Amino acid sequence: MYEMKIQCEATDEAIDFCDLLAEQIARFFSVHDRDMFVLSVHEAVINSVAAIRQSGEETEKNTFVLSLRITEEDVTVTVTDEGSGIPIKQIERMREKSLEDMLLAESGRGLLLIKETMDDIWFERRENGKCAIAMKMRRGRNG
């Protein structure tokens, strides 16, 4: 088993870095669907960076943490930030709608895309009341 945590500032460079890291993890550890894994991690990181930027606070808290846990069976990714958190309304919408329902919507497709492409998605409540997004994809043949 491998575990790592990377703390990044909420910058475009950090988004690019996380994309590159996700590509390498997906390739090296043979996740089931490499492209969808990378896209899902990208969406989670983008959402985190957007939440941090919307908070408008210029402190050391304008960072997010990308955590990876790799076992023989799967790769789990968690993205945590100090932003405003994922609104309950958005979580409820994700449970009620499909990606197809939201294709032409202005926003809100990222979580649905993650839900439909990863093997599992869940939200973790933190001590501060904020929510982190976690997702898992099994390892195996690449599609």
The pLDDT, as a whole number, for residue 140 is 85
Bridge partner list, 120? 136
- Vertex 100, ends 133 and 32: CA angle to 5°? 55
The pair of three-digit structure tokens given for residue 18, joined into one six-digit string:
């996380």
- pLDDT category at 50 given cuts 50, 70, 90 is confident
Q: With 60 as the cut, is the pLDDT of residue 142 above it?
A: no
73-103 pLDDT, tens digit each = 999 999 988 766 666 666 666 666 665 655 5
7-36 pLDDT, tens digit each = 999 999 999 999 999 999 999 999 999 999
pLDDT mean across residues, the chain: 83
Enumerate residues 6+ apart whose C-beta is below 8 A from 134.
76, 77, 78, 79, 121, 122, 123, 124
For the chain, the structural domain boundaries read 2-138
Angstrom distance (rounded) from CA 129 to CA 124: 10
- The whole model's pTM is what? 0.83
Provide the CA 135 distance to its chain's centre, in angstroms. 7
Q: Tell me: domain 2-138, CATH 3.30.565.10, correct? A: yes
